[in-house]
Amino acid sequence: MDDFPRASLDHNIPLLVTLGIPSDESPYDASPEPAFKDQATLLRSDEPILDSDQARALLGYILDHDASDLPWNAMQDAVSKYKFRVRTAARSLLLPPRRARLPDDIGPPLSSTVLHSPFSPLSPVSPLYPDGLIDCRWLRKHQELVPSVLLSFYMLSSDPTQATLRDNRIKSDINALKNALVQSGYKTRLAVVVLGDQKRSSADGVQERLENIRKICGIDTKSFFFVPTQESQDELERIAENTLTTIYAHATEYYRDLGRHARKKRSRGVAPQPSVPPTSGTSRSLSLQDWNVRYDFKSAIFAEYRQEMDAAYRSFEQAYENLLSSEVVELIPSWSPRWNEARLLADIIAIRSLRCLLWNGQTTAAVRRWQLHRDRISDLVESRGSGTNNYGWEAWEARWATIMANLLERVKLPDLAPATLALYAQPEKAAMGDRLRPWDLLHHPGYWYHIAATHLIRRRAFALAIPEDDRRPPDSSPASKVAGKAFSYDTYMCPEPHEEYPIPGFKGTKHSELIVDCLMKARSEFQKRQQLRMAAELSLECGREYTAVQDWQSIVLLLEPLWRDMSFRTEGWLDIAEDLSWGLRTAASHVGRADLVLTIDWELLNRCFANRRNWHCNLSKSLDGIDVEFKPTVKIHDGNVLSFLSTSFVFRTEEGKAGQTAQAQLSITSNAHPGSAPIILDRLQVDFAGSIRPLVLEHKEDSAGPRRKHRDVIFSEVSLQERAGQNTEEDNPLSAAGHATTASLYGDVDLTLAPGHTLVFAMDIPLREPGEANAASTRFSISQDAFDLEYVARFQESTVPDYWYVSAASRKLMSRSNAHSIHILPRPPKMEIKQLAVPDEFYTSESIELRFELVNAEDENASTKMDVVLRGEELSPCVLEVEGHDNPCPAEAGEQESIVQGVSLGTIGTAKSTVVTLRIEPYAMSTQFELTLQATYHLESDTATSIIQTAIFQVNVVNPFEASYDLLPRLHPDPWPTLFVYEGPDADDTLVKIPKGLSQSWCLVTRYASFAAAGLLVKDVDVSIRAPPSVRCFTTKKQGLPEGGREVRPKTIEEAAFDLVAKKMSLDDRTAASLDASFIIKWSRLSDAEGPVNTTVLPVPRLNIFGIEPRVLGSVSYVRDLVVLQITIENASNHFLTFGLGLEPSEEFAFSGSKQTTLHLLPVSRRSVTYRLLPLVRGEWVRPALVVRDKYFQKVLRVIGTEGVKMDKEGFLVWVPPEEEDDVNQGGD
């Protein structure tokens, strides 16, 4: 935009010139056109200039609100009510003449001669004369020379003596100004500001005086302002604001008048005649169409002054259409300078139209307008000019794109501000529905600059094609040629061919500079919007331009940062990376940056980049032709480049043990270009994280060691030697952290690596300390005569499985990931903890003894300590006894665990053993617990390292027996005591109380089974009864066990019966009683019959006796053939009870006894009824249908069988023995 003439593109805002207060800022430039100076109208004021602080503050405020540099968008309208371009003049200014003089060489003016403005094509003095359309001088006249408002400042004197005099002077001065203005012919409005003097004067007098001045001078109230003295800054600003707002209305009015005037002239419909008819040139004067363009353009400009952008746009479009119509521009011959002037005017109009559109936020319309102008001009140039296939057209295209970018920068569209990160503006509503072309969406300036750059590149291409003849300066080539090329090149706003592409030795256009400038501007726009890849792309293009001008230093500066953290490489855009690398390499080799050259060469050796022809593919030749002062040392990290060397380090197994060696393989694969020179590595060092010492492989040609080759794989086994580090780097952080010493593992191998080959080195790595270890990095060192190079590759955690080479020919996939790491286990303990002969299970009530043997399998004596931990519920106390030591160690009992800690076992000699015994008190309940034995020992040779061996045992304690119980009633033989015998008081002193109450007899039958896994020997059984004090109880075992006990096999049931006789102490006590009984089994293990006798106590469910209800007991005895059935009814209650007995006849027996009878029972008494049965069947159970009924309650009582009587659901059954056993009396008592 800077290429256009001054003022041609500025946004027009009303011009305000202040008079009376001097200022250095933006002075009114009175002499832009020296030609007019003698004719210019001088406006002069004789009043002294104002120099008070107040006046300066006022002017300062006005100047601050100069709107010349505001962004070109409608946002500003809301902020400020006025817009002025402010110029200051002290006391005088020159206005350009209204009428041009006729040139002297033209004869005396005819009477009919009409003089026109010097800016008009009608005046012979104007450069436009006779057929120019309009030029920037006219624009400048309005923008810079002719103010819309002249703001004159005066000071009101406060001295009463001089007041009238001074006031009159002001009046005459104002009048003089007014007259001068009228004389000048311009309709500039005059506004007056009167400032009050410093000293306060009476308010009424001032008002009067002001009114007087105003009236005398005939000034409108709206053009007359007063600033009282000593107002505060705020107040001053308010007044200034008011003043400016008011006079802005005048300014608008001024330009409206001018616009109206232009339209009036247009509507006249006749082309005015020049002052003097043209005689030179084509002697062509402007046609009506031409005049219409001029008038429309003027209307548009005046509309712009009024900030009526819509109106301006319409007028501009009208002017544009007319200008490019067949009647205006097509009539101008293309050789004439007017042709280029017309093109310039078209450009100016188009740019101003674009600004109008952007002003209103019509972004899509603006882009379309931009394209339309480009297309129109291109058509025009194609048909009338010199076509579009030349550098001039491309120069214009580039300019046209740049203009859009510049416009966008000036307009500052809020939608496209960098902070919004928006790349393009959304289309305005009007354009929304259409089929939008993507480019119709207004993109940010970066894109426009980029387009400009591409056009500039094309322009250069055209320029380079200029034939040499045309490139000669005009003075050195024949005149005919100069004339010839004047028409064959489009030189609109661009240099002549001899400057566009000068022959060597002459100055001319520097295309690369222009291109780089555009690209850099674009790049900064893209960077502002976080389009970093785009910016990188532009840097790359810039680099190409620098290459063209061989500015190597700039390339390095520009591309090196890009190359260093290049996202293209890591993201896999290798073609881009390659392009960048080559560009940088070329520059670096010229600048002498050996490090860059080497690093880039290292990277480019990778096969994934294309191999360039003419490239040596040999690292050792990289520095050929580069001057370096000293031998460079280059360090390359794998993160920075895409190296052609890939390494993997694999441990055979996931785990290893300290003190042993681990099999490992290092494989190096070269992905260099096939055909490139083999690389010879001098030294290769693998550093480990963890406790493994660095591994150093050194190159030795024809090194010893088996070496097998199969296709591309070379497999060799390396024997490593541990040596103190000789020349390991001191700055190696890994070894410094891992080791106090710098001992390394050394091996000699052949490290020649041909492209595509893989070197595999198999080795045994000694492991030292427990922990995690992994191969951290590999360092390749290459020493050449010309340079030293070190390449460091880190091993990454990866999911890609590595290979394990079984041999050169075969390899297998490692199934685990991260095969470069190994878990080193501690040195394995060789102390053994053995449990000595134990039974399968332990039983409750048995004291448990566990014996363990500690066998020292180490090669040395070991001083050992022992910890024992028992974990379980309700642990019994336990003690640990050590063989050969006297005092056992009791365990510290806790809730969940009991611990014996730190029992010293002394030194156990190698291959010797020690036995410890753990004794645990018997458990009452079945349980289980976990026993942990931990032997901590250290060898005599290495007392610092403790070695730990742990053994865990599960111990189960189970119940050996379970039992079930039956309590059967029996008939107590003794008669009941009677109520009628007085018991007498108990003698307190008697030791043994004699029970005097009721007694009952029972039989307790116990069945016990062994649940032990092994056979047990039951030595004795017993019942222990705990009776309440009111009851006395006796038990007798019915059958004793055989001498030496009974052997009880697992899962067999044994029975033991006990007679139980209970007596109440007192007859008065007739409540029920319950007995707590327990069953006691004394036993020992069958396997260990002589061992201790264990006592298992099994609780018996509570026994309830002495019920208060009457009971009916049936007992049976046999007398020869007869069965004697005795029914005994016991009434233990305090009531008199009556029972009815009835025995039904049966087919199974005959009986004697009362078939039906009534029995009366006194309180606390019992009675028996006897039936004698003659059984009719033998060897069977018979069921006597005997019913005992409580007469009072009408309740049938159940007959409870005693010995020899069987009970079932329906009643009781009596056994009739078979015949031959008749005489045997079964069980009768």
Partner 1 sequence: MAATIPAIACLGVIGRNNNPLHITIFPSYDPKTNTASTPVRTPLQFSLLLSSSLDVFDLRLRTTSSASVSGDLGLLHAIDERLAVYGFETNTGTRLVAVIDMRGRRADARVAGGKGAAAAAVVGLREGEMKPVFKAMQTAYVKLLQNPFYDPDEHSPPTGVGGKRITSRLFAEDMRRIGETWMPGVTSL
Binding site for partner 1 (CB under 8 A): 371, 420-424, 434-441, 443, 447, 450-451, 454, 526, 529-534, 537, 540, 567-568, 570-573, 575-576, 579, 796, 798-799
For partner 1, give the closer residue by CB, 270 or 419.
Answer: 419
CB of 537 to partner 1, least distance (A): 5
For residue 617 the two structure tokens come to: 């593919």
CB of 818 to partner 1, least distance (A): 12
CB of 791 to partner 1, least distance (A): 19
Q: How far apart are CA 800 and CA 816, in angstroms?
A: 9
Q: Which of 681, 563, 669 is nearest to 620 (CA)?
A: 681
For residue 449 the two structure tokens come to: 């600059």
Phi and psi dihedrals of 78, rounded to 5? -70, -30
CB of 439 to partner 1, least distance (A): 5
Contact 38, 166 (CB under 8 A): no
Diameter of the chain by CA atoms? Answer: 191
Residue 1214 burial (CB < 10 Å; 0-12/13-18/19+)? buried
- Number of residues in the chain: 1229
For partner 1, give the closer residue by CB, 798 or 1156.
Answer: 798
Long-range interactions of 807-810: CB distance < 8 A, separation 24+: 807/708, 807/710, 807/715, 808/708, 808/709, 808/710, 808/711, 808/713, 808/714, 808/715, 808/760, 809/710, 809/711, 809/713
CB of 381 to partner 1, least distance (A): 15
CB of 802 to partner 1, least distance (A): 15
CB of 383 to partner 1, least distance (A): 14
Q: Which of 1098, 1063, 799 is nearest to 961 (CA)?
A: 1098
134 three-class SS: coil
For residue 1213 the two structure tokens come to: 């059954």
Q: Which of 776, 815, 813, 803 is nearest to 715 (CA)?
A: 803
For partner 1, give the closer residue by CB, 570 or 946.
Answer: 570
Q: Which residue has the tokens 């785009």?
A: 534
CB of 931 to partner 1, least distance (A): 47
For partner 1, give the closer residue by CB, 318 or 364.
Answer: 364
Q: Which residue has the tokens 């209307």?
A: 299
Q: What is the DSSP string of 290-309?
A: HHHHHHHHHHHHHHHHTT-H
Q: Which residue has the tokens 């209650």?
A: 1133
CB of 562 to partner 1, least distance (A): 13
Q: What is the DSSP letter of 438?
A: G
For partner 1, give the closer residue by CB, 436 or 1098.
Answer: 436
For partner 1, give the closer residue by CB, 797 or 1220.
Answer: 797
For partner 1, give the closer residue by CB, 421 or 994.
Answer: 421
CB of 190 to partner 1, least distance (A): 52
For partner 1, give the closer residue by CB, 213 or 576.
Answer: 576
Q: What is the DSSP string of 647-696?
A: EEEEESSSEEETTSEEEEEEEEEE-BPTTSPPEE-SEEEEEEESSPPPEE
Q: Please provide the distance, in angstroms rounded to a whole number, between the alpha carbons at the two ends of the chain.
A: 142
For partner 1, give the closer residue by CB, 443 or 1070.
Answer: 443
For partner 1, give the closer residue by CB, 189 or 368.
Answer: 368
Three-state SS for 31-73 is CCCHHHHHHCEEEECCCCCCCCHHHHHHHHHHHHCECCCCCCC
Q: How far apart are CA 1141 and CA 1143, in angstroms?
A: 7
Q: Give the helix/strand (H/E) hosting 318.
A: helix 309-323
Contact 360, 436 (CB under 8 A): no
Q: Which of 1228, 1225, 1165 is nearest to 1202 (CA)?
A: 1228
| Integer angstrom CA distances of residue 519 from 422, 452, 508, 527, 906 | 20, 9, 21, 12, 86
CB of 438 to partner 1, least distance (A): 3
CB of 596 to partner 1, least distance (A): 22
CB of 838 to partner 1, least distance (A): 54
| Integer angstrom CA distances of residue 1089 from 803, 962, 1045 | 66, 21, 10
Q: How far apart are CA 365 and CA 313, in angstroms?
A: 12
Q: How far apart are CA 827 and CA 660, in angstroms?
A: 8
For partner 1, give the closer residue by CB, 386 or 527.
Answer: 527
For partner 1, give the closer residue by CB, 319 or 457.
Answer: 457
Characterize the bridge pairing of strands 1205-1207 and 1031-1037: unpaired
CB of 450 to partner 1, least distance (A): 8
For partner 1, give the closer residue by CB, 568 or 649.
Answer: 568
For partner 1, give the closer residue by CB, 584 or 1075.
Answer: 584
For partner 1, give the closer residue by CB, 399 or 450.
Answer: 450
Contact 830, 818 (CB under 8 A): no
CB of 748 to partner 1, least distance (A): 36
Using alpha carbons only, give the angle 823, 828, 829 rounded to the nearest 5 degrees: 155
Which residues lie across from 1117 on neighbouring strands? 1124
For partner 1, give the closer residue by CB, 575 or 962.
Answer: 575
Contact 851, 915 (CB under 8 A): yes
Which residues lie across from 657 on neighbouring strands? 825
CB of 424 to partner 1, least distance (A): 6
Quickly count: other Cβ atoms within 10 Å of residue 915's Cβ: 15
For partner 1, give the closer residue by CB, 532 or 1196.
Answer: 532
CB of 579 to partner 1, least distance (A): 6
CB of 230 to partner 1, least distance (A): 54
For partner 1, give the closer residue by CB, 540 or 559.
Answer: 540
